[in-house]
Structure 1
């Protein structure tokens, strides 16, 4: 019996095989053992191997490399969430006295960081209209270090003047950061269009199954990437191996999921425009989209799976609509295999005043839809019926 504790404490060698696994193995270990101090020194010097999971682990590396291939770059890293990716960029590159220009229709938490958190650390911020490059140019100061833009805005589905903004940023030597979450590399390649840094909420379309929370960021300049990596490690924006494993599995079907959801979104947008009680439908495929021509230029025939619509009746109608569609999750997320409804006024943009939301075009009757993989006819019927019920309220 005295031998039992000793045998349990031993760490046997990992089994070897002449064959290799078809699926990526999950490796949740936190620490890695090195042969000796000199070997550990060498690992840190040349970046080979793994030491401590906060600094990197196999599942994060595999996932990052696959997203790198989609974006046409190398050297990206995976973070614990989309906001961790945003934070790693800001904390790794900016310093007190710098100035950042952000699109005024960024994701709600990015907006909060721009308007409330960065100023606490001595970083100046200005919000500008991404659909008008001249507004970005007008906001430039001598200390402007960075511009932050989403190609398609959340949740109003406006399309940024990426060509104009990139031209200004590149000519002025200002870093251009592009959040490519909505568009994904399937629809837009930021590095081919002047971006310096690209980030994603991998949680959304790339992972695609609402079961993994992750981010991703990559910079074209290796020195900037090193700064971002150091911030990511120092502030502990570590990605879970299990979430990385789930996301890599989801990534295998990304193109198929994106194409199917996008095609359904086009059908849904066309159908909702004819439903009584709908004030407007916003999707880049529609000729009445305020940025339709720019969308054709930037996105081509890839308008995406995200759309928004507004119903008459305000909050009472919004409550009635969601109750009338119990099979459609009312949830502040996007990119799942199933369609989800989001109400910005009560979720992603609740921190804004009603006046600020109104300025951006978000009323109490405004919904964002992340279209999933359902049968288009059934989805159209369910949402149309829910809208009809909302108007009875």
Structure 2
């Protein structure tokens, strides 16, 4: 064999009596099996092994098992993004003629999927207010297959009446899908309350560093799991091994980050509420929150790491505020280790139009803050400077 011929052969992984402390990254697209019989055994579940990365790979499985521990789940799937997880559930579990009911304050892209894409495929959709359980349950139809809820809505931080809705849905044989991105399993564990499927944008608080784009979905029923998995594999919602590795590393500090950010959020909400020109502050455990009693009953003291507020002055004031806060990233994301600021009217909910946003209480002066782990005195000072400059 010539020198050049040997270069194209893969080298065997070095054998060692020690083990890596950090998880290795395995970027391989394909995995070699010794013979067709072994490959059959893998596909038929009689042997454990990987075949093609679109069908699963080690870094995704390592991350999924950690997320399973947090959510009290089994065999969860890591996918390429949070919206990949939402789409895999909706497309994997429904068919033409079904109806899907969603909360009326879902994430903007979830709303678009409900309003634009599912109807094109013959799947009817509608939205209802999940803070009003009676009205929400009244919107269930005979053909309703599932409901999609967020415990705490984006971006107005309204708290759904989860207990009543889940009980009502169960009585009607309707599946309950919970997007747990905002609350995270640190604040709420949907399976403990009767949910059938849980989804996450791992991109956000779980990974925590704005450098990995991933989603997660877990189903309590094996048949539902298979339907979701088959759709995800067929359309290629494959997660990057490197992103999985980054997210796993982020999880090691998740509880520490969440608790610090949550404490900061509660303090920042109180500080902003006392500033001139602020017309509203929304934080679930504040006594003036419209769903305060429900939030405390459902989440206890876990108000989360998100704060929303509104200032007077419209778009001009909004521009002044962001320009006066150069050290706070103005970016349409959440869950970073550092504080980020977003303006739903120009980002996540821009597609709803002025009237659609107004119906949800989203004005040009409305901001959403994903609070990070910085020193709280510094955060309060920066927001006070920015708000005073704006109003």
TM range (shorter): over 0.9
Shift of 1:99: 0.3
How far apart, CA to CA, are the structure 1 residues paired with 2:82 and 2:301? 27
Does the alignment pair 1:115 with 2:115? yes
Does the alignment pair 1:230 with 2:234? no
Give unpaired runs (5+ residues) of structure 2: none
How far apart, CA to CA, are the structure 2 residues paired with 1:176 and 1:135? 16
Give the aligned partner of residue 254 of structure 2. 254
Q: Normalising by structure 1, what TM-score?
A: 0.98
How far apart, CA to CA, are the structure 2 residues paired with 1:163 and 1:109? 26
Give the aligned partner of residue 74 of structure 1. 74
How far apart, CA to CA, are the structure 2 residues paired with 1:186 and 1:302? 8
How far apart, CA to CA, are the structure 1 residues paired with 2:136 and 2:287? 26
Give the aligned partner of residue 303 of structure 1. 303
How far apart, CA to CA, are the structure 2 residues paired with 1:93 and 1:64? 21
Match of 1:64, SS?
helix
1:170-221 C-alpha deviation (Å, 9 max, x unpaired): 1111000000000000000100111000000000000000000000000000
Give the aligned partner of residue 285 of structure 2. 285
How far apart, CA to CA, are the structure 1 residues paired with 2:10 and 2:385? 61
1:242-286 C-alpha deviation (Å, 9 max, x unpaired): 000000000000000000000000000000000000001000121
Moved over 6 A (4+): none
Give unpaired runs (5+ residues) of structure 1: none
How far apart, CA to CA, are the structure 1 residues paired with 2:306 and 2:10? 50
Shift of 1:346: 0.2
How far apart, CA to CA, are the structure 2 residues paired with 1:12 and 1:154? 49
Give the aligned partner of residue 314 of structure 2. 314
Shift of 1:4: 1.6
Give the aligned partner of residue 197 of structure 1. 197
Shift of 1:372: 0.3
Match of 1:345, SS?
helix
Give the aligned partner of residue 379 of structure 1. 379
Matches within 5 A, 1:343-382: 343-382=343-382
How far apart, CA to CA, are the structure 1 residues paired with 2:110 and 2:142? 23
How far apart, CA to CA, are the structure 2 residues paired with 1:325 and 1:259? 24
Shift of 1:12: 2.2
1:97-151 C-alpha deviation (Å, 9 max, x unpaired): 0001000000000000011110000000010001011122111111000000000
How far apart, CA to CA, are the structure 1 residues paired with 2:125 and 2:163? 22
Match of 1:286, SS?
coil
Give the aligned partner of residue 98 of structure 2. 98
Does the alignment pair 1:206 with 2:203? no
Shift of 1:5: 1.0
How far apart, CA to CA, are the structure 1 residues paired with 2:70 and 2:51? 28
